[in-house]
């Protein structure tokens, strides 16, 4: 499948790298900065929105791509998305989405997809398999920290198994620690632990999943059954020739062929020839699912409909976080 890349900047820089390594995808061109600039980047200038739209239109007509991959800044991204929808070309955009009502008619097109990759790394796919197998009962709570809010909300919904529902949002500050929550009802709660850098920067998420019969904390799976507590670990296949000495999922780099849960294989590496990180494998998995969808053979991995829904939740939750009070301070004042 052929794609056009729009943008050459820092945001989501690993996406073009992974795309370039995948046999299924072929790059039909890159639209980015041009000419002579000044300041920190004297060799290039940014394209204006009008120039960007013009160049993209020409490239779409000449290349006829299956997908446009936008890694441009958020405000330029909206120009790209609108142009692609008008041309009837699928487009991959990246969060955070700008708030507003402009996404509504874009959602209806079915052409816009959001690159939320933390849903798809091997470790999270393996955790999801453990949950789907039913051994731990129903998920009641998902706690996420150390990652941007747009990743956290998507992870909460995915592990809780909720769709486009509207939860009750709240946030409380306890002596410098802020906890934000999404209550979906029916004993389904998502909790986000806020730190200074996690509202915007991309870092690996720390996840604690609590269920009616146990919990998953990192690579540790605790199962409570008839009063007996057992602990098992998700491990990488130690027979992988390129794997690190440690088979714990805490190792974020190094090639490995499988993730095991006891004697059960939860995940098999579809790219054994690549020495990709967990993050890169998550991006590749997303892109494979997106290609399958574009061929009409499966659902989208994470559509703009989901992205716009989560963006509304994030906007409300961000307001709650920024206005959160410390309940202990209130008690002291009273």
Q: What pLDDT was estimated at residue 53?
A: 85
**CB 191, CB 179: distance < 8 Å:** yes
Is 168 among the domain residues?
yes
Same structural domain for residues 128 and 73? Answer: no
Same structural domain for residues 164 and 57? Answer: no
Task: Going residue by residue through the chain, which has 334 residues, state the pLDDT in tens, using 9 for 90 and above.
Answer: 999 999 876 667 889 999 999 999 999 999 986 544 444 444 445 677 788 888 999 999 999 999 999 988 777 788 899 899 999 999 999 887 766 666 767 888 899 999 999 999 999 999 999 999 998 999 999 999 988 898 999 999 999 999 999 999 999 988 878 999 999 999 999 999 987 554 444 456 799 999 999 999 999 999 998 889 999 999 987 544 444 333 344 344 456 789 999 889 999 999 988 888 889 999 999 999 999 999 999 999 999 999 989 988 998 999 898 888 765 555 444 4
Query: Structural domain tally of the chain?
Result: 2
Instruction: Give the whole-angstrom CA distance, residue 247 versus residue 236.
Output: 5
Is 280 among the domain residues?
yes
Same structural domain for residues 22 and 145? Answer: no
Same structural domain for residues 86 and 125? Answer: no
Residue 12 Rama label (left phi>0; alpha psi -120 to 50; beta): left
Instruction: Give the whole-angstrom CA distance, residue 274 versus residue 261.
Output: 23
Q: What pLDDT was estimated at residue 327?
A: 57
Same structural domain for residues 153 and 239? Answer: yes
Is 301 among the domain residues?
no
**Residue whose C-alpha is closest to residue 255's, from 3, 21, 13, 20:** 21
Token reading at 197? 């850098």
Is 115 among the domain residues?
no
Same structural domain for residues 172 and 234? Answer: yes
The CATH number of whichever domain residue 53 belongs to comes to: 3.40.50.10700
DSSP tally for the chain: helices H, then strands E: 9, 15
Is 329 among the domain residues?
no
Same structural domain for residues 194 and 69? Answer: no
Is 265 among the domain residues?
yes
The CATH number of whichever domain residue 125 belongs to comes to: 3.30.360
Q: What pLDDT was estimated at residue 42?
A: 43
E-assigned strand segments in 218-318: 220-225, 228-236, 258-261, 264-268
Same structural domain for residues 140 and 252? Answer: yes
Unique residue bearing structure tokens 């072929």: 26
**CB 301, CB 120: distance < 8 Å:** yes
Unique residue bearing structure tokens 């890694």: 71
Is 47 among the domain residues?
yes
Which residue among 272, 290, 308 closes a domain?
290
Q: What pLDDT was estimated at residue 328?
A: 53
Residue 325 Rama label (left phi>0; alpha psi -120 to 50; beta): beta
**CB 146, CB 203: distance < 8 Å:** yes
Instruction: Give the whole-angstrom CA distance, residue 82 versus residue 266.
Output: 39
Q: Return the C-alpha torsion angle 22, 23, 24, 30, nearest 10.
A: 60
**CB 284, CB 18: distance < 8 Å:** yes
Is 243 among the domain residues?
yes
Same structural domain for residues 225 and 163? Answer: yes
pTM for the whole structure = 0.87
The helix (run of H) or strand (run of E) holding residue 190 is strand 189-194
Same structural domain for residues 162 and 285? Answer: yes
Residue span of the structural domain in which 197 resides = 120-290
Same structural domain for residues 70 and 176? Answer: no
Same structural domain for residues 66 and 10? Answer: yes
């Amino acid at each position: 499948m052929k794609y056009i890349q729009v943008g050459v900047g820092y945001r989501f820089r690993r996406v073009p790298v992974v795309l370039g390594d995948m046999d299924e995808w072929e790059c039909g061109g890159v639209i980015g900065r041009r000419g002579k600039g000044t300041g920190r980047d004297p060799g290039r200038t940014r394209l204006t929105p009008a120039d960007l739209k013009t160049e993209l239109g020409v490239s779409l007509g000449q290349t006829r791509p299956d997908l446009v991959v936008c890694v441009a800044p958020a405000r330029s991204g909206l120009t790209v998305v609108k142009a692609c929808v008008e041309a009837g070309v699928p487009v991959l955009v990246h969060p955070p989405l700008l708030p507003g009502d402009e996404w509504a008619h874009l959602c209806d097109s079915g052409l816009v997809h959001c690159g939320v990759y933390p849903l798809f790394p091997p470790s999270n796919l393996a955790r999801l398999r453990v949950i789907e197998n039913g051994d731990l009962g129903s998920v009641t709570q998902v706690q996420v920290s150390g990652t941007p809010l747009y990743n956290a909300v998507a992870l909460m919904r995915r592990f809780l198994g909720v769709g486009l529902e509207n939860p009750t949002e709240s946030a409380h500050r306890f002596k410098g620690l802020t906890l934000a929550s999404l209550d979906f009802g029916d004993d389904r709660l998502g909790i986000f632990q806020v730190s200074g850098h996690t509202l915007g920067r991309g870092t690996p998420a720390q996840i604690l999943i609590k269920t009616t019969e146990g919990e998953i904390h990192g690579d540790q799976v605790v199962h409570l059954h008839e009063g007996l507590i057992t602990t098992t670990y998700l491990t990488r296949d130690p027979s992988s020739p390129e794997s690190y000495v440690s088979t714990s999922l805490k190792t974020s780099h190094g090639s490995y062929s499988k993730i095991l849960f006891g004697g059960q294989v939860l995940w098999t590496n579809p790219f054994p020839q690549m020495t990709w990180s967990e993050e890169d494998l998550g991006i590749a998995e997303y892109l494979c699912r997106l290609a399958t969808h574009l061929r009409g053979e499966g659902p989208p991995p994470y559509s703009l409909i989901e992205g716009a829904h989560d963006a509304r939740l994030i906007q409300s939750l961000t307001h709650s976080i920024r206005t959160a009070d410390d309940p202990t301070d209130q008690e002291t004042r009273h």
